[in-house]
Amino acid sequence: MLKVTNIGKRYGKFIALENINLEVADGEFLAIMGPSGSGKSTLINILGLLDQKYTGEYLLKDKSYKETNDNYLSKIRGDQLGFVFQNFKLLTTYSVYENIEVPLIYSKQKQTNKHALVEDVIKKVGLEGKEKNLPSELSGGQQQRVAIARAIVNRPNLIIADEPTGALDSKTSTEIMNIFTELNKTGTTIIMVTHDSEVADYAMRTVYIHDGHLYDDEKSVKK
């Protein structure tokens, strides 16, 4: 799915990432753990094609998008990637249905039956009957289900989730992680940032970031 070779990122003199190497296979479910400020968001912004200002090489499906212009890049993001964030980032004046439909409206891909696609993902995340509700009328867990449905409606190659359970209680977190597990079982590649080792346990593999360096296991983290 993707290959990162010797990636570095600086903010002025501050080194946020150094010599990052990472490969993620098709169908993998990877967790990225690390303390606050360690570089997790910086890394997933690069993986999610939200940041092109880095050194080293990042290939997504064997292609580099380092020099790609913004318009084309947002099209690639819309077609290939799905994002899920801690604070849901839903459109507050749009209904559940409309929020989920948004990526289809912007996608240039042909969709013969947009309505069927939206209804299908609504079912997948268990939100039947809530189509007309506004996000403010839903619980946190339900709002995250909307965000997941929105992320998968375009059938992306890769889902990038940044602390998807960070704002949820533990029972709701379990429900959300079960949805991710189910999606992964049906072939979706997932990269998830989390602080929570119980949440990371749902992934097939966990890597650790500490002070901008990536480690394959917790014991090798240099402190």
Ligand X SMILES: Nc1ncnc2c1ncn2[C@@H]1O[C@H](COP(=O)(O)OP(=O)(O)OP(=O)(O)O)[C@@H](O)[C@H]1O
Q: Does 41 bind ligand X (CB under 6 A)?
A: yes
Summarize the chain as % helix, strand, coil (round to 5).
35, 25, 40
Q: Does 36 bind ligand X (CB under 6 A)?
A: yes
Query: Which of 11, 171 has the CB closer to ligand X?
Result: 11
Q: Which residue has the tokens 């939200």?
A: 50
Q: By three-state DSSP, how is residue 4 classified? A: strand
Query: Which of 15, 102 has the CB closer to ligand X?
Result: 15
Q: Does 194 bind ligand X (CB under 6 A)?
A: no
Please state, in angstroms and rounded to a whole number, the distance separating the CA atoms of residues 175 and 186: 17
Q: By three-state DSSP, how is residue 97 classified? A: helix
Among 1, 4, 33, 39, binds ligand X (CB under 6 A): 39
Among 42, 165, 184, 188, binds ligand X (CB under 6 A): 42
Span of 40-48, 67-75, 77-85, 145-153 interacting with ligand X by CB under 6 A: 40-48
Please state, in angstroms and rounded to a whole number, the distance separating the CA atoms of residues 145 and 151: 10
Among 1, 2, 34, 101, binds ligand X (CB under 6 A): 34
Nearest residue to 64 via CA among 79, 78, 81, 47: 47
Span of 39-47, 62-70, 122-130, 175-183 interacting with ligand X by CB under 6 A: 39-47
Q: Does 69 bind ligand X (CB under 6 A)?
A: no
Q: Does 13 bind ligand X (CB under 6 A)?
A: no
Span of 32-40, 61-69, 87-95, 138-146 interacting with ligand X by CB under 6 A: 32-40
Give 54's contacts (C-beta < 8 A, 6+ positions apart). Answer: 7, 8, 9, 17, 46, 66
Q: Does 37 bind ligand X (CB under 6 A)?
A: yes
| Contact indicator for 111, 84 with CB cutoff of 8 Å | no
Span of 9-17, 118-126, 138-146, 172-180 interacting with ligand X by CB under 6 A: 9-17
Smallest distance from ligand X to CB 12, Å? 7
Please state, in angstroms and rounded to a whole number, the distance separating the CA atoms of residues 168 and 154: 25
Query: Which of 43, 152 has the CB closer to ligand X?
Result: 43
Q: Around Cβ 218, how many Cβ atoms within 10 Å?
A: 12
Query: Which of 42, 80 has the CB closer to ligand X?
Result: 42
Q: How far is CA 32 from CA 71, 125, 193, in A?
A: 29, 24, 5
Residues contributing to the site for ligand X (CB under 6 A): 11, 14, 16, 34, 36-42
